[in-house]
């Protein structure tokens, strides 16, 4: 006799997956179907599993600019058309030039003097006078006057250059000069003073001597001769002092702007999310109704009745045989 109830077998589990992208790592995507059918079977949604399987930074193209400053004392400068920095190539789009005074140096000190034979002339000396020294010129102002010793002489010198085919002999003003002499121009003092445009009253010549050895070039010898010149110092000297014009140094700044198109992270991310829907098979079971129960009970009762009748029929012939046998003995 079979039991009345629900029968079934172990339910099968299947999964369905799909991937999607989102800027929100908690995005649940589209809801999966609650029930699905596959291979003639019906399945019901049991669970949903979410997993981030990829994460990628979101980038966007943007214009990036950098500036380079070149400082130079040149008024002209040609910047590079293209530069590479951090593996990014930038193109020149603009260059501006700025000019500025970076230093202003005070002019160089220049001193000078005027000598006079008497005090009155010295007192009448101009209050300012232009003097040149060491390649610069300055308008100098009178700083004072002092009395000098009449017998003093100021030493200076003048150099002469000689050229000759014979290193031992040279010519000056038609005179032959000995290349081996210790005082080659001795005896020519008056001619020397006349050649330099000064008078013998206030100037005199000292010693003369060769400076170094002769130098040969292209078959000719060149040699320098130095002559001492002594100048008579007047009684009074008026001194002057001043500065040359200020030296201004300018510097030029070239500001070059470069531009490049670069990809830059926005700070946001794109997530690839995998959704796994877990389904469980629905097992179909027959739920017994009253009609089915009555029907089944009737069949059972019928089977019991038939069994009883057959049992009774089976017992009756045996009882008759025993009775008949009894009568015969009697």
Confidence at residue 222, expressed as pLDDT on a 0 to 100 scale: 94
Q: Would you write out the chain's pLDDT as a tens digit for each of its 330 residues?
A: 332 222 334 679 999 999 999 999 999 999 999 999 999 899 999 999 999 999 999 999 899 999 999 998 888 889 999 999 988 999 999 999 998 877 677 788 999 999 887 788 899 999 999 999 888 899 999 999 998 876 678 899 999 999 999 989 999 888 899 999 999 999 999 999 999 999 988 899 999 999 989 999 999 999 999 999 998 876 889 999 999 988 788 889 999 999 999 988 889 999 999 999 999 999 876 556 677 677 788 888 888 888 888 878 877 655 444 444 444 433
Same domain for 241 and 297? no
Distance CA 181, CA 178 (A): 5
Residue 135 in domain:
yes
Is residue 66 in some structural domain?
Answer: no
Q: Of 217, 245, 273, which residue is a domain's last?
A: 245
Within-domain flag for 256: no
207 and 298 both lie in a single domain: no
Q: Is the dihedral of CA 121, 127, 128, 132 positive or negative?
A: positive
Phi/psi for 189 (5° steps) reads: -60, -45
Domain extent, residue 185, equals: 109-245
What span, in angstroms and rounded, lies between the C-alpha atoms of 279 and 44?
5
Please count the other Cβ atoms lying within 10 Å of the Cβ belonging to residue 225: 20
Q: What is the pLDDT of residue 286?
A: 58
233 and 294 part of one domain: no
Claim to verify: residue 210 and residue 307 sit in the same structural domain: no
For 75, 93, 251, 252, 253, the CA distances from 97, given in Å and listed in that order, are 9, 14, 10, 7, 6
- How many separate domains does the chain show? 2
At which of 215, 245, 275 does a domain end?
245
Domain boundary among the residues 245, 275, 299 is at 245
Confidence (pLDDT) at 7: 31
Looking at residue 227, its pLDDT comes to 94
Q: What is the pLDDT of residue 116?
A: 87
Residue 229 domain-assigned? Answer: yes
The pLDDT score that the predictor gives to residue 139 is 94
Q: What's residue 303's pLDDT?
A: 84
Q: And the tokens for 179?
A: 């290349």
Please tell me whether residue 327 adopts helix, strand or coil conformation: helix
According to DSSP, the residues that pair with 211 across neighbouring strands are 224
Say what the pLDDT of residue 115 is: 86
Domain presence at residue 115: yes
């Amino acid at each position: 006799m079979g039991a009345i109830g629900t029968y079934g077998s172990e339910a099968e589990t299947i999964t369905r997956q799909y991937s999607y992208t989102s800027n929100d790592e908690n995005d649940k995507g589209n809801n999966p179907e609650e029930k699905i059918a596959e291979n003639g079977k019906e399945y019901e949604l049991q669970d949903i599993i979410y997993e981030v399987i990829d994460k990628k930074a979101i980038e966007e193209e943007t214009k990036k600019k950098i500036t380079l400053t070149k400082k130079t004392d040149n008024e002209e400068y040609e910047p590079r058309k293209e530069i590479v920095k951090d593996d990014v190539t930038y193109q020149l789009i603009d260059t501006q030039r700025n000019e500025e005074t970076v230093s202003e140096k005070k002019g160089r000190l220049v001193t000078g003097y005027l000598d006079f034979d008497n005090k009155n002339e010295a007192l009448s000396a101009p209050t300012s006078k232009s003097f040149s020294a060491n390649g610069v010129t300055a308008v100098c102002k009178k700083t004072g006057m002092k009395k000098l010793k009449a017998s003093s002489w100021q030493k200076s010198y003048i150099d002469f250059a000689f050229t000759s085919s014979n290193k031992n002999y040279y010519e000056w003003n038609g005179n032959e000069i000995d290349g081996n002499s210790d005082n080659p121009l001795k005896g020519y003092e008056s001619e020397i003073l006349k050649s330099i445009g000064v008078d013998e009253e206030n100037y005199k010549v000292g010693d003369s001597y060769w400076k170094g050895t002769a130098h040969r070039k292209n078959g000719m010898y060149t040699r320098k001769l130095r002559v001492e010149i002594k100048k008579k110092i007047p009684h009074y000297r008026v001194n002057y002092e001043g500065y040359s014009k200020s030296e201004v140094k300018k510097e030029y700044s070239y500001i070059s702007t470069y531009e490049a198109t670069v990809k830059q992270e926005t700070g946001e991310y794109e997530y690839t999310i995998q959704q796994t829907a877990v389904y469980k098979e629905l097992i179909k079971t027959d739920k017994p109704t009253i009609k089915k129960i009555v029907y089944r009970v009737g069949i059972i009762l019928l089977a019991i009745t038939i069994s009883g009748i057959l049992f009774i029929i089976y017992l009756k012939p045996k009882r008759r045989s025993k009775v008949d046998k009894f009568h015969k003995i009697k």
